[in-house]
A = this chain, B = another copy of it.
Amino acid sequence: MESAIKINVVRNILAANNQIAEQTRRELRERKITAVNLMSSPGSGKTAILERTLEKLHRQIPCGVIEGDIATTLDAERLIRFQAPIVQINTEPFGGDCHLSASAVRQALADLPLDKIRLLFIENVGNLVCPAEFDIGETAKVVVFSLPEGEDKPLKYPLMFRESKLCLLNKIDLAGVLDANLDRIQLNVHQVNPQMKIIPISARTGEGVDEWTEWLTQLMAL
């Protein structure tokens, strides 16, 4: 009984969500804004990667950021120094939602100077499950997969890896210390999503940042 009601309502919510996401996607396309939905487990380094990205790109390409968190404005504060327009969404007042929804993103868009933005980063709530289920109108989904999380994560959280176009394999500077099996990681990613591009990156050392910003530039040209 419980689960029947739940599935029913979740379907309705997803349909409503997807409708709003499509509106957003259309509007962003008309405005020639490329939007990247950045997703990962908590603490995988989404904000640290954004710091590196804005540092490198924002002078050439006008960027904007939507920060999604359950609580606090800690992530947004870390990005203020780059002087890109930022809006923070806190989901705590909305029942502590563990993901961004299309309507939350739509509200945030209204607070951004869209005519001054070409590349929009949407940092989702730290969660390897639910964000993958909710279309928010992005151009592309990108999953950040942090090396210390272990090789099996693509197999255990397949939807996230199936939905994403790119996998940023972060904290690659720890590969030696962790004795990580990079071949196994690549194998596991491609078992779930054979087309997935993987960029090893380190927000700490800057390794891989060039390849990532190159990928972004290509995405914008599509």
Chain A residues near B (Cβ < 8 Å): 2-3, 5-7, 9-10, 12-13, 16-17, 41-44, 69-72, 74-75, 94-96, 98, 103, 125-130, 133, 146, 148-150, 152-153, 155-159, 171, 174, 177
Chain B residues with CB under 8 Å of A3's CB are 94-95
Check if A6 sits within 8 Å of B13, measured CB to CB.
yes
5 A-B interface contacts by CB (under 8 A): A2-B16, A42-B149, A71-B155, A146-B148, A148-B174
Check if B9 sits within 8 Å of A156, measured CB to CB.
no
Check if B70 sits within 8 Å of A157, measured CB to CB.
yes
Chain B residues with CB under 8 Å of A130's CB are 98, 129-130
Number of copies: 2
Check if A156 sits within 8 Å of B42, measured CB to CB.
yes
Given A70-B157, A71-B158, A156-B71, A42 contacting B128 (CB threshold 8 A): yes
B7, B10, B157: which contacts A126 (Cβ < 8 A)? B157
Check if B7 sits within 8 Å of A6, measured CB to CB.
no
Chain B residues with CB under 8 Å of A146's CB are 43, 148
Check if A96 sits within 8 Å of B7, measured CB to CB.
no
Using CB atoms, name the residue of chain B closest to A125: B129
Chain B residues with CB under 8 Å of A150's CB are 43
Additional pairs, 10, CB under 8 Å, beyond known A41-B149, A127-B129 = A6-B9, A41-B41, A43-B148, A43-B149, A98-B127, A98-B130, A125-B129, A126-B156, A148-B171, A174-B174
Closest Cβ of chain B to A7, distance in Å, is 6
Closest Cβ of chain B to A130, distance in Å, is 5
**Highest count of chain B CB atoms <10 Å: which of A16, A71, A94, A126:** A126
Closest Cβ of chain B to A148, distance in Å, is 4
Given A125-B129, A156-B70, A157-B70, A43 contacting B42 (CB threshold 8 A): no
Q: How far is the CA of A98 from the CA of B69 in the complex (A)?
A: 17
B2, B148, B158: which contacts A148 (Cβ < 8 A)? B148
Using CB atoms, name the residue of chain B closest to A174: B177
